[in-house]
Amino acid sequence: MDLNLMAKTAIVTGASRGIGLATVRALRAEGVRVVGAARTVTPELKETGAHTVSADLSTADGVAALMDDAITTLGGIDLLVNNVGFGDDVEPVGFLETDDTRWANAVELNLLSAVRATRAALPSLLERQGSIVNVSSTNSRMPADGPVAYSVAKAALAALGKSLAEEFGPQGVRVNTVSPGVVRTRLWDDPEGFGGKVAAGVGAEHAAFLQQIPEAFNITTGRITEPEEVAALIVFLLSNVAGNITGVNYLIDGGAVKSL
Is 150 labeled as catalytic in the residue annotation? yes
**40, 31 contact by CB (below 8 A):** no
**198, 92 contact by CB (below 8 A):** yes
Residue 143, preceding peptide bond in cis (omega within 30° of 0): no
The amino acid sitting at 131 is S
Helix (H) or strand (E) holding 31: none
Please classify residue 208 by burial: count the beta carbons closer than 10 Å to its beta carbon, then call 0-12 exposed, 13-18 middle and 19+ buried.
Answer: exposed
Give per-residue burial for 35-53: e unless 16+ CB within 10 Å, then b: bbbbbebeeebeebebbbb
Dihedrals phi, psi of 106, to nearest 5 degrees: -65, -45
Identify the active-site residue in 83, 136, 150, 230. Answer: 150
Q: How far apart are the C-alpha atoms of 172 and 159, rounded to whole Å? A: 19
Helix (H) or strand (E) holding 55: none
Outline where DSSP puts E strands in the chain: 9-13, 33-38, 51-54, 79-82, 131-135, 174-180, 249-252
Q: What positions carry a catalytic annotation? A: 150
